Amino acid sequence: MENVYIETYGCQMNFADSEVVGAILREAGYGLVQDLDAADFVLINTCAIRDNAEQRVRHRVRELRAAQNRQAGLRIGVLGCMAERLQSRLMVEEENVSFVCGPDAYRRLPSLLAQVREGQKGAEVELSTTETYADIEPVRLASNGVSAYISIMRGCQNYCTYCVVPYTRGRERSREPQTIVAEARALFEQGYREVTLLGQNVNSYRWETDGGRTAVDFAELMRQVAEVSPLLRVRFATSHPKDLSDRLIEVMASYANICRSIHLPVQSGSNRMLKAMNRRYTVEWYLGRVEAIRSRMPDCSLTTDVIAGFCGETEADHEATLALFRQVGYDYAYMFKYSEREGTFAQRHLKDDVPDEVKTRRLNEIIALQGEIALANNRREVGRDYEVLVEGESHRSRERLFGRTGQGKVVVFDRGDAAVGSYRRVRVEDCTAATLLGRLIDR
């Protein structure tokens, strides 16, 4: 039996895809190993959203030459968005890569590996309008046994001007709701206590039956998954602000086991920039969605994505972003400076005219502000009690455990008699900008 070692880079969708890849290869008779030295094939599942993500992968591929020198016959394959974007060109630019496989072609991996075993290079990068891998039970790679991802849809057709995802993952298509609920139920029966429903834009999930007369939208899907068990926490990522419905907010507010946490990427606080990005909402619309969330769920945590230095961004646009951060008060943000991606509308039609040193300065200002906001938010949590789902040992001490509140905030606390996978009441006694520090209290 030949063995496969999988490394994953990028978003939650990539990690979920690696679990699908593992299931397909295990079914085909391959072993899955966590030791590179035991591998016959190394599969690198990649992200293409920013240039530095691709450069990390290229660096890793070149590092693996040493492993190939030690292990005769070790073959390297690149999967996912970077493989789809660069296709067979990648095997020319990185000579030690034997094959590439795009995110819609994973069912063909066994035949692709067989082809490579015979000494040929290969590429499978055709995008699909129907593939969802709904019938495949993912292998939970490096799972903590508590939390799991469930992909509910694939692709994106929003065509934000800076983004490669529509070109690397194809158009939106949704999974049958019955398969999603069944996967959530199976995970709960296996002992998992939290699932995260994944999609590039989960709010546009839609499954139609009876010629379109009956439809399950995302709010209804969330309701169905929440009803698997009150002991199963349900999260989701990612939401597009333009599609965040009042119905979804109502469903979230109605079920205690749907986590009070929404990731709502804003990208910029300037209407001029949002239009240039083709985000299809205004700052006013976005703030209206924030108000709707907080009117029904005052305790809901909000996180976001933001891009500093997009094409044509002025100091006034940047100041508008800082002002929006102050107004919303995010608990966490993924913050990046603009990285031009080949093939996007922005790369073809807009000028990347903000100097890198200006991008860096603006990004650092956003990071500093968000750090202040996050610390202030966490300080308000001190003295409060939360039900925490225990996920594992603290990285710093085996005598401490960590878990998350329903708002998604990490809490570290003394182990006591708490068990991984259990729900425990924790009182917050201190904090940093990133973490709450607490102690177990009686139920």
CATH for 247: 3.30.750.210
User: Which of 140, 139, 215, 207 is CA-nearest to residue 176?
Assistant: 207
In this structure, are 111 and 186 located in the same domain?
A: no
Last residue of a domain, one of 259, 289, 312: 259
- 155 and 229, same domain (yes or no): yes
Answer yes or no: do 103 and 154 share one domain: no
In the prediction, which pLDDT does 212 show? 72
The whole-angstrom separation of Cα 391 and Cα 61 is 32
Q: What is the CATH number of the domain that holds 40?
A: 3.40.50.12160
- Say how far apart CA 154 and CA 127 lie, in whole Å: 11
Q: What is the pLDDT of residue 211?
A: 75
Averaged pLDDT of the chain = 95
Give the tokens for residue 388. 């925490």
How far is the CA of 381 from the CAs of 39, 279, 327, 365, 403, in angstroms?
46, 33, 19, 25, 15
pLDDT of residue 213 exceeding 90, the answer is no
Q: Does some domain include residue 358?
A: no
pLDDT tens track for 359-410: 999 999 999 999 999 999 999 999 999 999 999 999 888 889 999 999 999 9
User: Rounded to an integer, what distance in angstroms lies between the CA atom of residue 413 and that of residue 300?
Assistant: 22
For residues 74 and 177, state if they share a domain.
no
Same domain (yes/no): 174, 234 = yes
**Residue 443 reports pLDDT greater than 70:** no
Does the structure show a pLDDT above 80 at 149?
A: yes
Residue 208 lies in a domain: yes
Mean pLDDT computed over 334-354? 97
Note the pLDDT of residue 146.
96
Does 204 share its domain with 153?
yes
The reported pLDDT for the residue numbered 395 is: 87
Total of domains in the chain: 3
Domain co-membership, 36 together with 86: yes
In a domain, 273, yes or no: no
Return the closest-CA partner of residue 329 out of 360, 308, 307, 298. 298
Mean per-residue pLDDT, 303-312: 98
Q: Is the pLDDT of residue 34 over 80?
A: yes
pLDDT per residue over 41-66, tens digit each? Answer: 999 999 998 899 999 999 999 999 99
* Same structural domain, 216 and 156: yes
Which phi and psi angles does 338 have, rounded to 5°?
-60, 135
The model's pTM: 0.94
- Cross-strand bridge partners of residue 439: 427
What tens digit of pLDDT does each residue of 70-111 get? 988 999 999 999 999 999 999 999 999 999 999 999 999 999
Domain boundary among 204, 239, 259: 259
Whether 233 maps to a domain, the answer reads: yes
Judgement on whether residues 169 and 112 belong to the same structural domain of the protein: no
pLDDT band at 264 (very low <50, low <70, confident <90, very high): very high
65 belongs to a structural domain:
yes
Asked if 157 and 117 sit in the same domain, the reply is: no
Domain membership of residue 367 (yes or no) is: no
Which pLDDT belongs to residue 25?
Answer: 98
* pLDDT for 135: 94
**Residue 361 located in a structural domain:** no
Distance between CA 428 and CA 118 in Å, rounded?
59
In this prediction, residues 262-283 reach a mean pLDDT of: 98
Coil vs helix vs strand at 96 = coil
Give me the DSSP letters along 302-367. EEEEEEES-TT--HHHHHHHHHHHHHH--SEEEEEE----TTSHHHHHS---S-HHHHHHHHHHHH
For the ranges 145-159, 177-191, 199-213, 332-346, the lowest mean pLDDT is seen at 199-213
d(CA 420, CA 192): 11
Residue 266 pLDDT exceeds 70: yes
Question: Is the domain of 11 the same as that of 111?
Answer: yes
Is residue 131 in some structural domain? no
Q: Residues near 271 by Cβ (< 8 Å), separated by ≥ 6?
A: 282, 283
| Listed residues 216, 240, 259: the one ending a domain | 259
Same domain, 90 and 168: no
The yes-or-no verdict on residue 347 having pLDDT over 60 is yes
Q: Domain containing 60: what range? A: 3-124
